[in-house]
A = this chain, B = another copy of it.
Amino acid sequence: MGVDKAIFTPVQSKRAFEEVSSKIKTLIFKGALKPGDKLPSETELASQFNVGRQTVREALRILELSGFITVRKGYGGGPIVQDTILNQISNLFSDAFQMEKISLEQITTARITIERAILEHAMENADSQDIKALEDNLNRAKKKADQNMMCLDENIEFHKLLAKASKNPVFVIVVESVLAIMRAFTSRLPPDPETCKKAVQNHEAIFHGIKEKNVEKAIESLERDFLELKNRLQSLAAQDTAEVET
C-alpha cells in the first residue's frame, strides 16, 4: 500500500513575512480574530512575533491585498480585521480582463451558466423572507426606474438575493464575485436608464416565475435578462471608442 506523496513537503523555506501573515490568517479562520477587531500596532506585532517591523509590514500588505484587513493611519489607527475578499477578487478579475485572460463573452457565459443552475436551488429553498427581500428590491427599483433614474445597485442586489435564497454560501460567493466584475464593467460605461428599466422588467418576470413555481418561466426570463444586458454592454462599449489610458 503506497503512502501518498507529499507528507514531508513543508520543508520549503517560507519567508518570514509569509509565516507571519499565515499565522494571522489562521487566527481569523479559527474565529479568534473577527471583523472589527483591532490588531496590535506594527511595532507591537514585531516584538510579539520577534521579527522586524519591515517583516510585519510586508505581512500586513499581504493580508490587506488578500482582503483580510484594512489599515488606517494616525492616532487610534492600525490594522483592523475586515472582510473585503470579494472586492479583492473582483480587482484581480479586472486585472485578468485587462491582461486579456478573460473576455466579456466568457464572463457572461459563466454568469448565465452558473446563475441558471443556481436559480433552481433558489426556487426550492427560498423562504418567505427571501421572497419579501426580492419584493422590496423590486419596489425600490421600479420606483427609480419610473423616474428615469439609474437603479444599477438594485439590479445587482436582485441577483445577490437570488443566490442567497439558495441557502448555499458557495453560490453566494461565486455569484457576488462575478457580479463585482460586471459592476466594474458597467460603471466605466455611460449610464443608461433604459438598460436599467429593461432589467427591472426582466427581474419582475423572474420574480413572478418564482412565486408561481414556474421554473421554465423564471429561467427564460433570467436568460433574457442576461442576453439583453450583454447586447447593451457590447453596443455601449463599441460606442466608447475614445478610450484613454489613465
- Which residues does A use to contact B, with CB under 8 Å? 1-2, 4, 17, 25-26, 28-29, 54, 57-58, 61-62, 65-68, 83, 85-86, 88-89, 92-93, 95-102, 106-107, 109-110, 113-114, 116-118, 121, 144, 147-150, 152, 168-174, 177-178, 187, 191, 193, 245
Contact = CB atoms under 8 A, between A and B. Distances in A.
Given A57-B54, A107-B170, A83 B99 contact: yes
A168 B57 contact: no
A93 B177 CA distance: 9
Most buried by B among A28, A110, A114: A110
Nearest to A148: B1
A62 to B, nearest CB: 6
Nearest to A89: B92
Given A83-B99, A147-B2, A110 B65 contact: no
Contacts of A92: 66-67, 85, 88-89, 92
A71 to B, nearest CB: 9
B99 A85 contact: yes
> So how many copies of this chain end up in the complex?
2
Contacts of A102: 169-170
Contacts of A177: 93, 96
A168 B101 contact: no
Contact of A96 (B26, B85, B96): B85
Contact of A99 (B29, B61, B62, B96): B29
Most buried by B among A67, A99, A150, A171: A99
B173 A93 contact: yes
Given A1-B193, A61-B62, A85 B101 contact: yes
A210 to B, nearest CB: 17
Given A85-B92, A152-B4, A106 B57 contact: no
B4 A150 contact: yes
A149 B1 CA distance: 6
A28 B144 CA distance: 38
Contacts of A57: 54, 58
Contacts of A106: 168-170
Contacts of A88: 92
B170 A97 contact: yes
A168 B187 CA distance: 23
Contacts of A117: 113-114, 116-117
